[in-house]
Amino acid sequence: MSSSEDLVLSVKGLTTNFYTYEGIVKALDSVELSLRRGDTMGIVGETGCGKSVTAKCILRLIEPPGRIDGGQILFSDRDPKTGETNEIDILQLAPEEMLTIRGNKIAIVFQDPATYPNPVFRIGAQIAEVVSLHQDLGREVLEIRIRELEDSVKNSASAEHQAKVREQIEHYVSMLENPPKPDKKYARKAAWAKAVDMLRLVRMPSPEQVANQYPHELSGGMRQRALIAMALACNPSILICDEATTALDVTVQAQVLNLLNELKKDIGASIMIITHDLGVVAETCNWVMVMYAGTTVESTSTKELFEHPVHPYTIGLITAIPKLHENKERLDQIQGTVPNLINPPTGCRFHPRCAFATEICSRERPSLEEVRPGHYVACHNPQGNV
Amino acid sequence: MWPAITRRGTYEEEHGMSQSETLVSLANLKKYFPLTGGVFRKIIGMVHAVDDVSLDIYRGETLGVVGESGCGKTTLGRTILRLLEPTDGTITFMGQDITHLKGSDLRNIRHEMQIVFQDPMASLDPRVTIKNTVGEPLLINGIARGPKLRAMVLDLLQKVGLTEDHLNRFPHEFSGGQRQRICIARALALNPKFVVMDEPTSSTDVSVQAQTLNLMKDLQDEFGLTYMFISHNLSVVKHMSDRLAVMYLGKIVELTPYDIFRKALHPYTFALVSAVPVPDPRFSGRAVLLKGEVPSPINPPIGCRFNPRCIFAQEICRTDEPPLRDVGDGHLVACHFAGELDFGKSSQMEYAQTAEAEAS
């Protein structure tokens, strides 16, 4: 994709291996990915195709026996005040520097809302922890103190006291532009207030009450909302949703997807949605990337993908879904199963299952090429209208 | 080849029977789970998992059951098979009341009905080979042993697309789709008439799901099976089923022989249908959003159970529970205003119409 576009994240040649006793699992092999600022991008693929591993690489959450063996993850960080951008390679950062990015600039919502929030802490405390870890709450603390003092002015009878408090308020207001480091007690209060605000942002009914509840008291959909609130608490540039709606019922899923669509307008973050459901992609994303066995096979706009799928795997994936309007006796199926990534097929990793495979497919790995404007495919024998 | 078949009559004989013959019949079936609390584990409430369900399943058909999690669809399937004891009501299987069967009578009837569970890894013993897993029902029921057992197991495995090499392997050596095939082979070992499929493809990928669904349809034709297909995935259920039951909070709200994507009469069915993501970006973002959460089945709402979330709810919905009534051609709906409500068009309907128009 051309460099003139405003990319917030660009992954180049990302290669990740897992060194297990059975052998080296080649989980990701030269994955290419670009996320434009303000876009919602979908990553689709079957189990074990490397969708989640890609997300974890971006956050540097790969743990041994896994290792990122090559590539670049370029994150372009834009300062909201000055509008300046600086580009950093996430893979070159020290672990301490990564702490300022993970959860702050790039946030993730994981798949299973039942296991992810810590069961022994209140929802509000968990969100507040993220806030106080990453944000300087000086300004918020001052605002809280000013509000408290204003209240005391209203309730106070003595004119002398009022004048004294007003003086204090003015002193605080003058510090607003350049707030000092807040003291602990007030910082905690401010973080909690921010947590309640975030719960309100994700349309949680009675947010003050929910902040005081434990995860087990909430339903799956509400828990997922709380997790989204936690991820958004630091106004991240990128929000990654790793199968965020897979464990939810369709009606709840519709609520969460609708929420994500609305939030995109409010927060201005770029969203990356990892899913195996093409329906979810069609509902929310404007760009989509299809992965197969650790490689990028197709990457294009959502509209283009559904109208003109080009890679045989993508075509198979689209036709394998039972359609609402058809009364077919049999579904079209992709033959065979996903390959073992310890010994992945040579050349194109899809060729043993591909109906259009020719001799070159087993020899040479196809590179990602632009077959139509804005439509990138890694295939020797692209199908359909190219 | 299979002595079990000849002993109980072959499929051809059954096939001669009328198609609309009732195989399973439920009358006012209820299953409540007691909720205990306090020091003495006193019963403090009841979870109304299945509440007053009446329905018939005809021979040779596939009855789909859909609903959100916690609506009681799995409990219904298990209660029909007597894996759970019903609280009230009767279950009639092949003309025989099996609600209170015990001992060898119950075991005999269990030949005829089997279940395939949701998670194939959890329902296969990791320390038993595939041959013994699939052969166990044959051995226990004294149908075969030794070389004959091996031959029969092999035959079953071949039916579901596995080979002789797989006989002595363990479950962990298989992929998710293959494991589900093994579970299906085991369910078919005793040549049952009725199989409950409890979310058989919810843990598999789309391409494997297509393979499994095709296999199930092939086996249904070959063995003349009757399926009860439980799932939360509406497009899969619609693809598999002849008739469809929609459950909400332990009750059937709609039972329809029609395509629910086109003809839904209950407001809940319509909301459920419209929430299914359409795999076409032209029709995205138009789901009818239900407000709130599913109420607790411990204290279900009075009147129509859907009334707190229903945009069409009237006074009568809050006081009177609507009966499941026939609105024509075996289309049953439990709504006071069935057929009178105008839901408008769902994006699913428009998608279907556009896709059809483009195809022709």
Interval A81-104: pLDDT, tens:
777 788 889 988 888 889 888 888
Structure tokens at A21: 């006793």
What's the rounded Cα separation, in Å, for the pair B194 and B191? 9
What's the rounded Cα separation, in Å, for the pair A278 and A256? 16
Structure tokens at A169: 């308020």
Does any CB of chain B come closer than 8 Å to the CB of residue A265? no
A332-371 residues touching B, CB cutoff 8 A: 332-334, 337-338
Position with higher pLDDT, B136 vs B9: B136
Task: pLDDT band for B20, please (50, 70, 90 cuts).
Answer: low
Looking at every residue in chain A, the average pLDDT score rounds to 86
B206-235 residues touching A, CB cutoff 8 A: 206-211, 213-214, 217, 232, 234-235
* 3-class SS of residue A134: helix
Task: pLDDT band for B16, please (50, 70, 90 cuts).
Answer: very low
Query: What's the rounded mean pLDDT across residues A67-84?
Result: 83
What's the rounded Cα separation, in Å, for the pair A58 and B122? 33
A323 contact residues in B (CB cutoff 8 A) = 235, 355
Task: pLDDT band for B332, please (50, 70, 90 cuts).
Answer: very high
| Beta-carbon contacts of residue A129 (< 8 Å; ≥ 6 apart) | A121, A191
Task: pLDDT band for A322, please (50, 70, 90 cuts).
Answer: confident
Q: Quick check: B17 pLDDT over 60?
A: no
What's the rounded Cα separation, in Å, for the pair A282 and A42? 9
**To 5 degrees, how large is the angle CA B259–CA A253–CA A228?**
175
**What is the interface pTM, i.e. ipTM, of the complex?**
0.78
A252 contact residues in B (CB cutoff 8 A) = 68
The shortest C-alpha distance from A256 to chain B (Å) reads: 10
Report cis status (omega within 30 of 0) of the bond before A65.
yes
Between the CA atoms of B276, A302, A17 and A98, what dihedral angle is there, to the nearest 10 degrees?
-90
In the sheet that A23-36 helps form, which strands lie side by side, from edge to edge?
A: A23-36, A7-20, A66-78, A85-89
Judge residue B79's burial from the number of C-beta atoms within 10 Å of its C-beta, 0-12 exposed, 13-18 middle, 19 or more buried: buried
Contact A322 B232 (CB under 8 A): no
Contact B132, B212 (CB under 8 A): no
What pLDDT, in 10s, does the model give residues A192-248?
A: 999 998 898 888 888 888 899 998 888 778 888 889 889 888 888 899 998 888 777
Contact A252 B281 (CB under 8 A): no
What's the rounded Cα separation, in Å, for the pair B100 and B78? 15
Query: What's the rounded mean pLDDT across residues B350-358?
Result: 79
Structure tokens at A290: 């299809």
What global pTM score does this model have? 0.82
What's the rounded Cα separation, in Å, for the pair A41 and A296? 14
What's the rounded Cα separation, in Å, for the pair B198 and B220? 16
Cα separations (Å) of A203 from A50, A225, B287? Answer: 32, 8, 17
Q: Locate the chain A residue with the closest alpha carbon to B285.
A: A283
